[in-house]
Structure formats: C-alpha cells, structure tokens
Amino acid sequence: MLTIMAQLWKGRFKKELAKETNDFNSSIKFDCRMFEEDIKGSIAHATMLGAAGIIEQSESEKITEGLMEILGDIKSGRLEIDMEAEDIHTFVEGELTARLGQTGKRLHTARSRNDQVALDIRMVLKNEVDEISEKVKNLISVLCSKAEENKHTIMPGYTHLQRAQPITFAHHLMAYASMLCRDLDRLKDVKRRMNVLPLGSGALAGTTYPLDREMVADLLGFDSISANSLDGVSDRDFCIELAAALSLIMVHLSRFSEEIIMWCSWEFKFIELDDAFSTGSSIMPQKKNPDIAELVRGKSGRVFGDLTTLLTVMKGIALAYNKDMQEDKEAIFDAVDTVKMCLNAFTPMIDTMTVLKDNMRNAAAKGFINATDCADYLVGKGLAFRDAYKATGELVALCIDKNLTLETLPLEEYKAVCDLFDEKVYTAINLEKCVNDRLVAGGPAVQSVEMQIESAREYIGNYRF
C-alpha cells in the first residue's frame, strides 16, 4: 500500500515515507471499521459526478460496480484490508485503481480526504447512535417490566444514604427510566445535528466543479448539506456532543451500578443477581461478587476520558482540517463501543435479578421513614407543621431510647407528647398507606407509578431514530 500512497503524492515528493512515519501517520488500524461507509459514500459521490456530467456516465457506472465488488470482497473476506495503508480512504481508492486503472483515478474528482473523512465518521456514528438508542430503549423496557412487578414492593427511599421516606422499588426503578428517556432524547438531538452532509466542502474551500450536493445528501439519507466548507471539513462538534451524551448514559449506569453493588451486600440484601451475572472469589468460597456492575461503574471513566480527549484535540486548532483531528476516531469509537458493551451486560443483569421484597420491607420498617407522615397526621388535626415536626422528633427520640418503632410505641406515650393523638395514628403511619397517599404526579403511589410506567412505554413506543 505504501506504493499506492507514494503514487498518490508522487508529483511533489522524491522519497517514500519512512516506515516509522507511516506507522505513526497511519489511521488504518482504527478507521478500517469505516470501510462500508467509505465505499457507500464514494458510490454516492461517483453517481453524482456522473449525473452532473463531471465524469462520463459510463465511468461513473464502472466505478460504482468496482466499489460494490470491493465492498462484497471485504465483507466475504476475499479482500483483506492492508494494514500498511495510510487510511481506509487511501486503501479503497488504491484498490479501485488497481482494479479499474484510469477510471478508478477519476473517483477522487472534486473531493478531498478531508470532506470524505468528515462524511464517513458522520455515517458511521449515525448508525451507532441508532444501535445505542435501541439498547437504551431495551433497558427502559426492562425497567418498566420490573417496575410493573414491584409496584407494591415497599422499600426505604434515601437521602444522604440515610433512610428517609417510604417508596416502592418500582418508583426507584422508574427514576432510572426517566434518566434513560432523557438520554434517548439527547441521542436523537445529537443525530439531528450529525445528519448534515459535509461532502462537497473539498479540502477546505469547496470546489470549482458544479456539484449537486443535495443529490448526494438524498442518496445517503442526510437531512441537509453543510453551510460552509471550512466548517464542513473541520466540525467535530457532533463527536463531542455524542461523547457528552454517552458520558451521561455512563453517569446513569454508574449510579445504578453503585446501588446494585450496595443492594447485593449483606448489609442491604435487597436483591440477588443471577449467577450468570456474578462472579466468585478465587479464595473465599462464600463470595458472590457483582463484578458486572463494578465494571460498568469503572468503565464510565473511559467514556469521560474520551470526551476530554475530543474536547482537548479540538480546542486549539486553527481552521480548517488539521491532522490532530485524526485522533477523533479512537476516542469516539471507544466511547461508542464501551457504552454498547456496558448496555449489553447491564440490561440482562437487571432483567434476571431477584428482588428480595421482604428484606426491603423490613428495612423500610426501621429507620422511622414514616416520621413525616406522623407529623402530617398532626397537621391534619390542626397543628402547625413546625409544631407537628417538633412533637414527632420527640417521639422518635423516645423510640430510640426505648428501642421501639413508631408502630410499636404505645398510644399513652404519643398522648404524653401531644394530646391530639388517637388510635388512628397507627393507620396514618402504616407504610403502605404512607406510600399510597403520595399520589402526586411523579410520586411512589401505585397509581402514580403506573402512570410513570405508561408514559415511559409510550415514549419508547413512539421514539423514532
């Protein structure tokens, strides 16, 4: 391949690229995954060149056929991508020329690798966004099903990791579903701005040929064409936006993982992961470790790193294309691959986990998570909330002293603190009632969570990439 490159540059250069320089300069090891998009982009370009009369129609057809063959040969393994090539664009063009001779050399008319690579990354990432969106949708759907099964599963809700107020496991799961719905929304938004065709920007200054850029956009499924050729070749905002959207997905998966890890511990024992999604210890026979969740939490670091890489690569380069930008691909591909891998492992792990409902209920029964409801009961009797709060605080202190709960504290003790209390307080602090009185939209009551499940399902049902 070095020879083909040397031929491409021939006019200006007297020597071939040094081996070390070629290895350093080359991007084929990571851009070879764009071969299909590169070829499809070239087919669209050649088709337009023919239709616009920039090259002969017959040559355009020959180029298309040649490119289709190359695509088929790479896919079937008949043609191996040469890892000595500078990049995938050079390889495909070189192979086409090797097969078609002079005609192959016409493909690059009115095009630069700068607008070509900008096109290829957009095409690759559009597909990746669709794939990731589908995986996020699946996870939301699994969360909705799990929530459906756990609408009545009372658990303590926490703030500061201290038991705070009663919720249900369904309510907790649907919080993650809400985050993931926003993630889907962001992916869609990223794709909208990604869906702009840069081809036709040339190296930086457009071209003198009468290109039909709209035609290429139509052929390749782009919504519009880039407005400025300098920006067309040097814009990588869409990579950064995608890495940011992926980083947020990882923030969400990582927080969820942290909870899974805690819930698996003997200290919580709220869930048990399926054996297929846990690992043992090489020395401690009793261990069942939530490695998958830990790895997802750990891998978030890679994706944040990729985002930082992209921001740093782009922040100081003058217009238009600079070779620095070749660094975009490893970073964004790593982010994409990591998120896909994490979702592939995470979703079935959630789907197959066992919810230990009794343990959640027992934990909810301790920690005075119905104290707010006790205070609200007094408010119902006409007391100001601040006074009710104080009286309940005294009751909690009393319970702690006597090793009792609000449920087991005798009525006389209640009355001694505030004479507004009567028998009905026990109904008021019943956990099921506490949860189901929280009927407010977005709250944990069964009906309220049912609405959350319904709207999440509706959202993913109507979601179009």
Q: Site residues (CB under 6 A) for ligand ARG?
A: 27, 31, 87, 113-114, 117, 321, 323, 325-326
Tell the smallest beta-carbon distance from residue 33 to ligand ARG (Å). Answer: 12
Pairing mode, if any, of strands 162-168 and 154-159?
antiparallel
Partners of residue 272 on adjacent β-strands: 354
Question: How many Å is the Cα radius of gyration of the chain?
Answer: 31
Tell the smallest beta-carbon distance from residue 151 to ligand ARG (Å). Answer: 51
Which of these is catalytic: 58, 265, 281, 455? 281
Residue 355 parent element (H or E): strand 354-355
C-alpha span between 249 and 36 (Å, rounded): 28
Tell the smallest beta-carbon distance from residue 275 to ligand ARG (Å). Answer: 44
Tell the smallest beta-carbon distance from residue 80 to ligand ARG (Å). Answer: 19
Per-residue b/e over 2-12, b at no fewer than 16 CB within 10 Å? Answer: eebbeebeeee
C-alpha span between 353 and 343 (Å, rounded): 15
265 is catalytic: no
* Tokens 């009793």, residue located: 286
CA 315, 317, 319: angle at the middle one, nearest 5? 125
- Terminal C-alpha separation, the chain: 38
Which of these is catalytic: 76, 160, 172, 252? 160
* Nearer of residues 331 and 395 to ligand ARG, judged by Cβ: 331
* Nearer of residues 116 and 133 to ligand ARG, judged by Cβ: 116
152 is catalytic: no
Tell the smallest beta-carbon distance from residue 326 to ligand ARG (Å). Answer: 4
Pair 86, 28: CB distance under 8 Å? yes
Pair 336, 246: CB distance under 8 Å? yes
Tell the smallest beta-carbon distance from residue 16 to ligand ARG (Å). Answer: 16
C-alpha span between 216 and 239 (Å, rounded): 22
* Nearer of residues 233 and 456 to ligand ARG, judged by Cβ: 233
DSSP string, 340-359: HHHHHHHHHHHHHPEE-HHH
* Nearer of residues 96 and 117 to ligand ARG, judged by Cβ: 117
Tell the smallest beta-carbon distance from residue 90 to ligand ARG (Å). Answer: 8
* Nearer of residues 138 and 326 to ligand ARG, judged by Cβ: 326
* Nearer of residues 90 and 278 to ligand ARG, judged by Cβ: 90
C-alpha span between 158 and 162 (Å, rounded): 5
Pair 37, 120: CB distance under 8 Å? yes
Per-residue b/e over 49-70, b at no fewer than 16 CB within 10 Å? Answer: bbeeebbeeebbebbbebbebb
Tell the smallest beta-carbon distance from residue 233 to ligand ARG (Å). Answer: 9
* Nearer of residues 94 and 166 to ligand ARG, judged by Cβ: 94
Pair 246, 310: CB distance under 8 Å? no
Pairing mode, if any, of strands 224-225 and 196-197?
parallel
- The DSSP symbol for 224 reads E
- Judged on CB neighbours under 10 Å (0-12, 13-18, 19+), 283 is exposed
Question: Catalytic residues, which ones?
Answer: 160, 281
